[in-house]
Structure 1
Amino acid sequence: MKKIIDSCTHGLSFLIVAMLAAMVVLVFGNVVLRYGFNSGILISEEMSRWLFIWITFLGSIIAMRENTHLGSNFVVRRLPPAGRRISLFIGRLAMLYICWLVFSGALSQTLINVSVGAPITGISMGLFYASGMVFSVAGALVLVGDLYRLATGSMATVDRYIDDAGEQA
């Protein structure tokens, strides 16, 4: 199972790099064309915005999976092992609820805007808002896995959360 998750994470990283490269080409190409040839790529700005949103949400999935998101653990570090486990469990439950809120909001916006075309490309705006649904579903899966490991795993799992965040502080 870990190999499958690692390969999915690697695939997401590759996709993010490809999207970032496309953004760079679009924006840099547009700048060169505007200043050098008094022309431009019409869809550059819109597509760059869409790619940026998708990169942000896909990167958030990876950050959640690798426990590299922003956090402070100065209180949790001082708790006894059982307190750490309970604190992290409650935190993951709260994050799971937030994933539900993001999913329900993104689903509503996707359904509202599925028949609305983007101003320049005409691509369905539902695709724009679907990024929130993709993040929330993948994030919820990561959180459910974390909750399972916290409920049944060894103390090493809990210490990994504390130590990972501590190294970045």
Structure 2
Amino acid sequence: MSRLSRFFFGFLDVLLAVLLGAMALMVFVNVVMRYTMNSGLPLSDELSRFAFVWLTFIGAVVVYHHRQHMGMETVVAQFGPRGRRVLMGISDLIILGCAGVLMHGTWKQLPINASMSAPVSGLSMAWVYGIGLFTGAGIIIITVERLFRLATGRMSDAELRGFGGEMDDLYDSPARAKAGDRAE
């Protein structure tokens, strides 16, 4: 499962890079065309906006997977291991609820978006805003897996320290520890 997970998130990293590159290219071409020819490509305007929406929602899943989202580490750091486990459980339950609301709302909104078309490309707006289903499902799957590991005692001490904002994972391997000693 870990290998599949690494492959999937590697694919998402590549997809994010492609979306970002495509968005930057479309905006750059439009700026140059407007400056030099006093006209632009309406399609690239619209598609760059859609790419931004997808970039944001897919990026939210990737950032959540890597635990790089915002947190209240100052508060969590005041607690010991048991308190951190409780706070992590509460946090994950709240996140699970919010992701469920996102998924439910996207599902309810999908028929309305499917009946509307983008003004320039004619693309169904369900393709644009349906990404909320992916984001909600992705965050729910990650959170359920984390809650399972937390409840069964399989949460590593490094993850628990990271939840409290401690970034001592640099010294996990002997080679990194030596490199860190030389840097000091």
Match of 1:161 in 2: 163
Calculate the aligned-residue CA RMSD, in Å. 1.8
CA distance in 2, matches of 1:123, 1:165: 44
TM-score by length of 1: 0.92
Structure 1, unpaired ranges of 5+ = none
3-state DSSP of counterpart to 2:73: coil
Aligned-pair distance for 1:161? Answer: 2.2
3-state DSSP of counterpart to 1:78: coil
Match of 1:23 in 2: 23
Q: Report if aligned partners of 1:110, 1:127 keep a CA contact under 8 Å in 2.
A: no
Structure 2, unpaired ranges of 5+ = 170-184
Larger Rg: 2
Identify which of structures 1 and 2 has the higher relative contact order when contacts are C-alpha pairs closer than 8 Å and 6+ apart: 1
CA distance in 2, matches of 1:112, 1:37: 38
- Residue pairs, 1:107-122, within 5 angstroms: 107-122=107-122
Match of 2:75 in 1: 75
CA distance in 1, matches of 2:46, 2:145: 36
Number of residue pairs aligned between Structure 1 and Structure 2? 167
Match of 2:144 in 1: 144
Aligned-pair distance for 1:154? Answer: 4.2
Q: Report if aligned partners of 1:61, 1:139 keep a CA contact under 8 Å in 2.
A: yes
Q: Report if aligned partners of 1:68, 1:164 keep a CA contact under 8 Å in 2.
A: no
Aligned-pair distance for 1:124? Answer: 0.3
CA distance in 1, matches of 2:29, 2:141: 38
TM-score by length of 2: 0.85
- Residue pairs, 1:47-66, within 5 angstroms: 47-66=47-66
CA distance in 2, matches of 1:14, 1:118: 26
Q: Does 1:39 align with 2:39?
A: yes
Aligned-pair distance for 1:80? Answer: 2.5
Distance 1:154 1:32, change over 3 A: closer
Following TM superposition, where does structure 1 have runs of at least 4 consecutive aligned residues deviating by more than 6 angstroms?
none
Describe the superposition over 1:11-45 as per-residue Cα deviations: whole angstroms up to 9, x where unpaired.
Answer: 00100100111111111111111111233212111
